[in-house]
Chain A
Amino acid sequence: MMATAPRTKPKLAVWKFASCDGCQLSILDLEDELLSLAGAVEIAYFMEASSKVVEGPYDLSLVEGSITTSHDAERILHVREQSKALMTIGACATAGGIQALRNFADVEEFTRAVYARPDYIETLATSTPIAAHVAVDFELRGCPVDKHQLLEVVGAFLFGKQPVLSGDSVCTECKRRGNVCVAVAHGTPCLGPVTHAGCGAICPAYNRGCYGCFGPSAGAAMPALSHMLAAHGMQPGEIARYLRTFNANAPAFRAESERLDASGGKGTS
């Protein structure tokens, strides 16, 4: 390695809020790189992988999950205090996740629908991204994150540079991969034109329209997309539902789905 080795290894912490664990699992899915990574950083706090807890402060905190309880709203403040750099990993931490569908509904009704004793459930009315609560140094997209992007981001941090990740749409990745355009060639509804790059255009490579795991791309032209989907025969309510999955609360997707609802399309209740 060319860089001068630091005297002590940077301390890495991995935190979980409301989530499925899939993004932190992506760290353990780095089968070829995991042991090297553990050699380059001190894994100081990672409850899913280690029962050893090293006290903060931490040089880099990776945060998975969204804020859905008052307890977690407090906890994220403590995480921020202890972290020199804080990066969110995945759609829950970056946009609120699938659990942000409560933001469009009545959370008390949700609680009654799932739990026999709603009075025992303590939760907030909304699921919000980490950046709504504390300053975030970098947001990594995806439901789940792409593990190679995750490695790029952590590696960039170790060498003190900005991560090099494309902010383009999935369409550019699709072209690079040599996929046939499923929207143009097959008339398959696809969110690729407005979805942030990062997955490598997996869905179109499997004859499927993109469903927006990585959230809106920079400058996503939402009304134009709705127009295209309507031309494929989708009703406004169906388009709104299509935008309301794992990144439903991301501003561009949220604004467009609410515009469609207000335009008189059939809502999704």
Chain B
Amino acid sequence: MTKRTIKVDYLARVEGEGALHARIANGQVEHVELNIFEPPRYFEALLRGRDFREAPDITARICGICPVAYQMSAVHAMEAACGISLPQPLRDLRRLLYCGEWIQSHVLHVFMLHAPDFLGCDSVVEMAKTNAPLVQQALRMKKAGNAIIAAVGGREVHPINVKVGGFYRTPRRDEIAALRDEIAWSRDAAAEALQWAAGLDYPDFERDYQFVSLRAADEYPMNAGRIVSSRGLDIAGDAYEKHFAESHEPQSTALHSHLIADDSAYLVGPLARYALNFDCLPADVQAAARAAGLGPVCCNPYQSLLVRLVEVFYAFGEALRLVEAYAPPELAAIEVMPSEASGCWATEAPRGLLYHRYDIGADGLIREAKIVPPTSQNQPSIEDDLRGVIATNLALSDDALRQRCEQTIRNYDPCISCATHFLQLTLERDEKGAA
């Protein structure tokens, strides 16, 4: 008899336009739906007929927050298609660039989008009124991450220097050396921020996630590795489409990703990377994580905030190592000749596994493109979390429950602009059963 509807018409502090609609009847969660109303932009369609060398610049425009991730998956997929791999110095430079993106994206999310929930603030600006030193420290860390992207990539948003085969120009020694001191300062600041975040109050909520991420032989994964899961999956990146598929759920607006074998949902992103690669973190990063109260696996989605800070701390350390060892590579790029082939690759975007596949012709033109971003892979998990959170918090008032739901969605740092090209869009006006 009693019906409640929890609605959020426009989610704040997420990237892109989305809404939440949940229906509760007689104390049971009847329906949960994350609505995506971001308009489609048709990247996979408009890539057809473009030159294979244009893919990194065009796909960067899918997302202004993680353009480097799109560029990295695109260039590696093209290089795989053309049968080349880069020498170590160029791979190192790409890793440095990716460190910059992880840092700026994670710091943006932790402090500007996510932390305000824990402190009862609307925004980072309001947070700065009571936590000025912390916010200033966060902005300085973010700036250091952006400075890495600008030095290697030419600018912070939509870098211009990433090329199939390498880079247009490798930075001079002095351009990279100039980054060092701020990175060193920021690494210490990240350790302090992690200690601060350990003291926040996290809702008591855990789920038995099926984690999926890359795993590399000898390093925390960014640009390379096998795709592994916490339930024993271990495949090469080019087998992705044999094991993962997207399907259209009748009650949902979205294409949901799932494992083909058992139709199960899975989780990508910081929690998954961390759980599947904890042993690849340096001892001091592991120690900092433990000091913040984390074990080698974290199943509380709210504590993804802590895990992001662990990754920020790691990425600054990794950037410092790469900066101090940097010598301009002899060649900025190796020449890549197109051939009629198909190539695919997955890298670790800040929000998780990002898969690209391209079929190209001998003329170098793209015939087909497939892109699977992290947020569409996580959508079933977000909805499952919401179902659990609502079921265990029915005693909360509508306002409090709505806020808790929004916070739950923000745990994922969802990138709706990314997901949109792949998620079904409907404007569900039919609100049957609304209270």
Contacts and interface: CB of A to CB of B under 8 A. Distances in A.
A117 B248 contact: yes
B79 interface: no
Contact of B248 (A43, A113, A116): A116
Interface in B107-140: 108, 112-113, 116, 122-126, 128, 135-136, 139-140
A126 to B, nearest CB: 12
Given A20-B417, A122-B427, A49 B123 contact: yes
A20 B142 contact: no
B16 A245 contact: no
Contacts of A50: 12-13, 122-123, 125-126
Interface in A105-122: 105, 107, 109-111, 113-117, 120-122
Given A23-B64, A35-B135, A245-B57, A205 B122 contact: no
A68 interface: yes
Contacts of B128: 35, 38
Contact of B160 (A19, A113, A206): A206
Contact of B154 (A25, A28, A203): A203
A46 B108 CA distance: 15
A74 interface: no
Contacts of A143: 61, 158
A49 B13 contact: yes
B63 A21 contact: yes
A269 B49 CA distance: 7
Given A69-B39, A72-B39, A31 B50 contact: no
A237 to B, nearest CB: 10
A199 B422 CA distance: 31
Contact of A29 (B15, B51, B157): B157
Contacts of B101: none
A221 interface: no
Interface string B288-316: 00000000000000000000000000000
B168 interface: yes
Contacts of A52: 122-123, 126
Nearest to A50: B123
A220 interface: no
Contacts of B124: 49
Contacts of A132: none
A163 interface: no
A32 B143 contact: yes
Interface in B142-200: 142-143, 146, 154-158, 160-161, 167-169
Given A114-B40, A241-B50, A269-B49, A16 B17 contact: yes
Interface string A6-40: 00000000001111111111101101101100100
A47 B63 contact: no
User: Would you list the 3 A-B pairs with minimal beta carbon distance, nearest first?
Assistant: A22-B64, A50-B123, A51-B12
Given A22-B157, A31-B139, A110-B42, 16 more contacts: A21-B417, A22-B64, A25-B157, A26-B157, A47-B10, A101-B42, A105-B45, A105-B46, A109-B45, A111-B40, A114-B45, A122-B426, A123-B40, A202-B154, A202-B160, A206-B161
